[in-house]
Amino acid sequence: MSKKREIEVRGADVEKAIEAGLQKLGVNRSEVIIDVIDEGSRGLLGIGSREAVVRLVTLTVEPTPAPKVQPKPAVQPVVAKRETAVPTPKPTPKPAPTSSNGSDVEATEADAEEKKMAEEVIATLLNKLGVDAQIDTSTSEPDDLTGRKVNVIDIEGEDLGVLIGPRGETLNAMQYLTRLMVGNQLQRRASFVVDVEGYRKRRQQALARLAERMAKKVVARRRPVSLEPMPPHERRIIHMTLRDNEEVYTQSSGEGNRRKVRILPK
Amino acid sequence: MKDLVEYVVKSLVEAPDEVSVEAFEDADETVLEITVAGPDMGRIIGKSGRVINAIRTMAQVAAAKQGIRVAVELVETGDR
């Protein structure tokens, strides 16, 4: 069994940091678990920019015969759809670069193998929890930055508040665990999203509205505003919502689960 | 509840055969004692205890459904 190795690398952006790390380890993308510690930020004209930091952990791959993964069709670059038509040409998000040996698990299309296994794991978990619910899997919109689509597994039923928990804590614990469980079986990182009754979607919309509201406040007062601490994916929603805002920019500060977003006037 | 924890833990380790979960009553709560092989300890604890805490959260959902309290403890097997 190969030994588990773990490194932290920095780069101008997340992709570059990952690339650098893979090269350092001499492995390809399917052999590591990628953990984005800091997405970094471009800052304004290079001022206040922060390097992206990612952690790469090699998977301990047992010498089993290579799993027969059905060959994937050539990946078509997916151009991320934007809600509002912006005429200014933005650098279009590129799909994750294909690793040299052609085994590209980070394809732009949602992963069918992962979907099947994730549904199975979640259904079993719900059953053991004694929760009566149905599972409905869909595919997300392509990510704004990476163009990647992921499986979204929505749990539907009555009285599922217990699965969400205070501020989505239970839901996040469930997503974290089931991703690890599926990742362990597939021997690669799982990236599906677990949702309950569309909670994440509603939360996302609420956060986007919050971001817009706070941005207005920042502009009116000409003063930065700090939001309360949020988990990474929620901070990301704030950053993404205000990415193209002409009057403000955003930053994350603080460590661990005290990390929060600041909105500052440009 | 014990079943749930056992299923989660076994799916996360390299040595599922060495996993056992025992339940016993202690005062007003049920204690679930997870035993895993030494090399798997890190996987179940996770960075800053993230994995074991997520397991506790899930166990609490199951416990709340039954109207009981639960504590989840982790023990290592083997000789060291």
Q: Given a cut of 70, is residue A75 above it in pLDDT?
A: no
Digit-coded pLDDT (tens) for A92-138: 444 444 444 444 444 467 788 999 999 999 999 999 998 999 999 99
All structural domains of chain B with their residue ranges: 2-75
**CATH code for the part of the protein at A2-63+210-265:** 3.30.1370.50
Phi first, then psi: what are they for A26, rounded to 5°? Answer: 70, 35
Please give, rounded to a whole number of angstroms, the shortest distance from the CA of B8 to a CA of chain A: 7
What is this structure's pTM? 0.64
Name every chain B residue with its beta carbon within 8 A of the beta carbon of A180.
Answer: 12, 51
In this complex, the residue of A131, A162, A177 whose CB is nearest that of residue B8 is: A177
CB-CB under 8 Å, A124 with B7: yes
- Amino acid at the residue A257: N
Using DSSP, state whether B68 is helix, strand or coil. coil
Residue carrying the six token digits 């982790």: B74
Fold of A109-197: GMP Synthetase; Chain A, domain 3 (3.30.300)
Closest residue in chain B to residue A184, using alpha carbons only: B12
Q: Is residue B50 within 8 angstroms of chain A, CB to CB?
A: yes
Digit-coded pLDDT (tens) for A160-183: 999 999 888 999 999 999 999 999
Residue carrying the six token digits 């609420």: A206
Give A53 or A82, the one with higher predicted confidence.
A53
CB-CB under 8 Å, B64 with A162: yes
Mutate: best of B58, B60, B72, partner A, most A CBs <10 A: B58
ipTM value for the complex: 0.93
Measure the CA–CA gap between B63 and A137, rounded to whole angstroms.
27
The CATH architecture of the domain made up of B2-75 is 2-Layer Sandwich (3.30)
Measure the CA–CA gap between A212 and A221, rounded to whole angstroms.
14
Furthest-apart CA atoms within chain A: distance in Å: 62
Please give, rounded to a whole number of angstroms, the shortest distance from the CA of B62 to a CA of chain A: 5
